[in-house]
Amino acid sequence: MGFDRLHSVAFTGHRTYAGEAQEALYVLIRTLAEQGATTFLSGMAQGFDISAAEAVLALRDAGLAIRLVAVVPFASQANRFSAEDRDRFRRVLATADEVILLASDYFRGCYQQRNDFLVEHAATLVAWYDGSRGGTQYTFLKAMKCGLTLHNLSPKILPDPT
């Protein structure tokens, strides 16, 4: 695990994300890289996480000096995905610069452990957060409390987090 938290960006977002902000995501990743970000962390969940990882890989392959770290909560995570998302997951893992496997098997709390890892190892969080409850909300609010720079690409108005 060789990366600097101050130059690292983590992603969090809902599984229901269907590419609504792809153009803005590419622009933001490029902008963050121009501002010094070198490492991008994806929790590899369906939806926004995998889309963000694919965007990082595409920009890296186009010559941007960035790297992708796939943070996998447990080894069989993709078994719960649709066939299409399992294929995307495997392609991302195969081309990521680093894969961090947090646990060999599923356990209650493994997703929260992954979300904590993302917040603890990044200075910036890029989200697709619409204000609904769940893991994305947990990660977004924890990042806010920890003082990370936040970028939310969801167009929905957020409730007051206090």
For 134-155, the pLDDT digits (tens) are 999 999 999 999 999 999 999 8
Q: What would the pLDDT profile of 50-74 be if each residue is shown by its tens digit?
A: 999 999 999 999 999 999 999 999 9
Asked if the structure places residue 23 within a domain, the reply is: yes
Supply the CATH number for residue 66's domain.
3.40.50.450
Residue-wise pLDDT tens digits, 81-126 = 999 999 999 999 999 999 999 999 999 999 999 999 999 999 999 9
Tell me what pLDDT residue 162 has.
40
Beta bridge partners of residue 70, listed in sequence order: 42, 99
| Domain presence at residue 68 | yes
Please state the domain count of the chain: 1
pTM tops 0.85: yes
